[in-house]
Structures are given as C-alpha cells and as structure tokens.
Chain A
C-alpha cells in the first residue's frame, strides 16, 4: 500500500487532500454524503471577527470549466463559529481542522487567531489575505509584501499553531509576497485564491454578478495555480498548500510535483460533492501508475 501521508509543519495528514475554504461550509453538512474522516483535513469557511451576511445576489456566474463567485465572506462570526459550528463538526470529524481567517484590520486577524489558538479542534491557521470580494480588507493585505508580512507577524505573535498565509494570484510578483510572509515567520503558504474575473449578461448589458466582479475558480485555473505554486516553491523553504482547479488524483500529483505538500480541492466540491473521497480513493492507483511509493517524496519533484 503506497504511503499518502504528508506533514504540514506540525500537522500530520493521512493524505494531502483537503476541501478548500468556502466550498465546504463548516464541513458537517458533507457528513450526509460520506465519512469526513477519510479527508486529510478540512479548511473551514472563511471566518471574520464580526458576523457577515456578505454580498447581494447574484453571487454566482457560470464560466467555461469554472465559475465566478462573489459571496463576500458570509459567516456567523468567530464566536459563533467556535461555539456553534465547531461542535457540529467535532461530532462527525475527528481530526484537526484548518481555521480560515479573514479581516479588515491587522487587529481583526490577531483577534480571531488568538481565539482559534485556544481551540484544540483547530490544527492550523490559514490566514486569508486574498479575498477578492470584500472592500477595504481581504485581498488588499495580500497584494503588498509589506502588509502581508505585517499580518503574518501579528498572527504569529498570538498563536503557537502553524500559520499559513493564503495568497491571491492577483499580483504581479507572487514570489515576493510569499517571501515577505516567510521572512515574517509564516510556517507555510496556501495558494492560489480565486482570480478576479467578470461575466456580462448580454440581454441586460450588465455584469452577471451583483458586485460586478468576483473570484474565478474551477478546473480552468489549474495551469495558473501550478505556475504560481512552482514560483513560490522556488522562492521559499516553507511548506505550500496548493490549490486551484484540482479535480483528480493526477491533479494532486501534478500540484505536488510543482511544490505543494498538501492540496486543496475547491470548486469541484460544488458540482460533485463526492469529489474529495473519489480523489483520495483514486490516489493509490495513480501513485502506482507513476511509480510513487511515498507521496511526500515527490514534493517539488519537477524542479
């Protein structure tokens, strides 16, 4: 039996497959479809200090091999996540989960990080400095190396758990942002968040999405994600969680060869709720086909 286990800093995963934040809610609702404990971990819905309803509808637009979303970080706020959502997840998922934190100020990030640090159900903090769907926050922290580093430092100061910065692809030089995070003490990098995109309704002659623009994800973005994981792997020595368009066991292997230690599956969950278990079940055969005995041996193997 090939070995699929990988380690993200201090967090050991049975396999590298993790449902991506924003495509899996707080996890427990997928327990209706399969046993969640097959998953490496779960990256939870993006969480902010205060509850957020999010953006007006429509929030979704179809694209070729993908979709645009503009949900706008709808979530019940960090206190409700810890008090109401995590108990429901804990009942069906018995591994450490990944908290995904967004904010509108550096203090917001630290506030949530401190609360999740105290929670034994959380094994890793993914700091989202890349949400394209909120104004004056989210992505604005991730487009400048200095502000990404400032968020990293503030979060690292309040937690002993591994801190991964989730980066936006909507920058000219992803490597410099990743390097700034690593230099500021980040334990790892998650990438990519969605690509800023748009669709226009021909009949109405207006954007499909109420917020005009949104984040493009789905199978179509795999090549962009691979390129950026590759560039970040070249630039930093910390582990990478790769994501963007992953839909098969072969995609997982490709992402790991580019430099990812673990891999998140996002948009695919929305059209195939069984995507993650199907990928995990297909991994051993795919590994055998490509002569891989120990999955962690191939991390960055294409460099």
Chain B
C-alpha cells in the first residue's frame, strides 16, 4: 500500500451514471488486477474504495457508478484536480492460478476490474472469454473495449434490449473456471454454475487496509477481511449463508 496524490487527466461519462476517470501518478503499489484504491474526497470522512480498471507505469483508470454522495462528488471533478489515494489495496486476481481458458463474468459496475485482468491473462499467453451483464442496452459499457483486445465477448441484458436476454448465467455453459465480479446475487448464481474460479466481493469499508474489521466475511477458512484478504475469494473458500450472501450472522 502507498499513499499517492494523483492528478486527474480525464473524467467522462460512459453511460448516464457510469464514469471513467483516468489518473496520472505512481502506480508501483498496484501488483494485481482486481486490487482497489481508496480515495480521499473533500468533506467526506471515510475514503471511497474503487476498483482499478487498468493501470500502467504512468497512471490508472477507474470506472465508477454514481450511487451516492462520494461518487456524485467524483463525477464533478475536473482534469487537473488532485486526488489523494491509498493505492494497491486488496489481493486482486491470481493470474497464474487461472487455467488457459478462464471465463470472465462481470455484472454492471463489476465489469471494470475484469478489463485489467483480461489484458494480463492475454499477456500471460492465456485465452480468456468474457461475459458482460447489464440491466438494459443503455447501460452497456466497455463491450467494444474488451472486443478490441481480441477476446470473445458475450453481452447479456436483463430486459433483452441487447445481446442475450437474461442474466450472465444465461450465457454460461456450466462447469467453467470463472473470474467474476458483480453484485452478490450474481456471484452466488455464477458460483453455483461454475466448477472453480475467483470471485470479487464488494463491501462498505471503514479503512480499506485491514485495521477496523468493518468488512469481514465468513469463509471456509475462517473470517476474512474483504479489503485485505479479499476482495477476491477463491471458489473453494466461499461460504454462502442462509440469506444467500457471504455476510453472516453469528
């Protein structure tokens, strides 16, 4: 983990409420796709954790959905503004652990970290394919960007306005090794169909670096912190609870 003050180089909408922000600055603490940054925003006490979509030596790309005060404030930031961040947080996806043909499954704002993952899988000589799920055609983003990498992309929409009608599971065959990121009901459904893989979870966090236990979840291997031992959990260790989430009551 590092504390870095980034400079915003671009901040533009991809859809009505999903924005892409590119930042320039030190990315040396980012070591795996699926890691996140924790942003300090003016006037807000807690930092805001956002997954890294992609990065290189000079900067990184974040894709975020406006869902509350913090992300709304982010959407109004201009190029040239400074953004203080803790970077290189969480474990990220294990590229080496993926087989030759993993299926990357993203739902909505869970899509972005899979882009950085796809690039690194390709760089490692692997051949990922991608399933991207959205509610409706107007909410689709990054399908063409994935396709430009030369990977096979299947888009699903819940209302059938584009691609395959239904949820991402509609486009799965079953038994795949998946790398998934998206809302928890989606992760649960994908986990049921898949035979192995890595699943990235989301949580309201206090610190983002393992100090407060605010985002702990139960796993087969005992409690884990989504911010520190996660956000990516292995297929085998995920412990779904009665309420269909990894969130557990004692």
Contact = CB atoms under 8 A, between A and B. Distances in A.
Contact of B212 (A52, A57, A61, A71): A71
Interface string A36-65: 000000000100000011111111111111
Interface of A: 22-25, 29-30, 32-33, 45, 52-67, 69, 71-72, 74, 208, 210, 218-219, 267, 269-271, 273-274
Contacts of A57: 203-204, 215-217, 247
B215 A59 contact: yes
Contacts of A63: 45
A269 B216 contact: no
Contact of A29 (B205, B206, B210, B216): B210
Contact of A218 (B3, B45, B69, B209): B45
B163 interface: no
B53 to A, nearest CB: 24
Nearest to B203: A57
B214 interface: yes
Given A53-B248, A74-B223, A218-B45, A60 B214 contact: yes
Contacts of A33: 1
A64 B212 CA distance: 19
B247 A273 contact: no
A71 B217 CA distance: 11
B250 A52 contact: yes
B206 A270 contact: yes
Interface in B231-250: 247-250
A66 B43 CA distance: 11
Given A60-B214, A62-B46, A74-B223, A273 B250 contact: no
A58 B211 contact: no
Interface string B198-233: 000001111101111111111000010000000000
Given A25-B210, A74-B223, 13 more contacts: A53-B248, A54-B223, A54-B250, A57-B215, A57-B217, A59-B213, A60-B215, A66-B45, A270-B46, A270-B206, A270-B211, A271-B207, A273-B209
B151 to A, nearest CB: 33
A271 B40 contact: yes
Range of interface residues on B (Cβ < 8 Å): 20 to 34
Q: Which of A58, A208, A219, A270 has the most CB of B within 10 A?
A: A270
Contacts, number: 99
Contacts of B40: 271
A67 B206 contact: yes
Contact of B207 (A72, A210, A270, A274): A270
A208 B69 CA distance: 14
B44 interface: yes
Contacts of B46: 60, 62, 67, 270-271
Contacts of A30: 211
A74 B211 CA distance: 12
B45 to A, nearest CB: 6
Contacts of B44: 62
B47 interface: yes
Contact of A56 (B3, B209, B211, B248): B248
B1 A69 contact: no
Contacts of A25: 210-211, 213
A61 B248 contact: no
Contacts of A69: 206, 212, 214
Nearest to B249: A56
Contacts of B47: 271
Contacts of A52: 250
A219 B46 CA distance: 12
B216 A60 contact: no
A74 B108 CA distance: 32
A67 B45 CA distance: 7
Contacts of B215: 57, 59-60
Interface in B1-32: 1, 3
A101 B170 CA distance: 51
Contacts of B213: 22, 25, 45, 54, 59, 71, 74
27 contacts: A22-B212, A23-B207, A25-B210, A25-B211, A30-B211, A33-B1, A53-B218, A54-B250, A56-B248, A57-B215, A57-B216, A57-B247, A58-B203, A59-B204, A59-B215, A61-B204, A62-B46, A64-B45, A67-B46, A67-B206, A74-B213, A267-B45, A269-B211, A271-B45, A271-B46, A271-B47, A273-B211
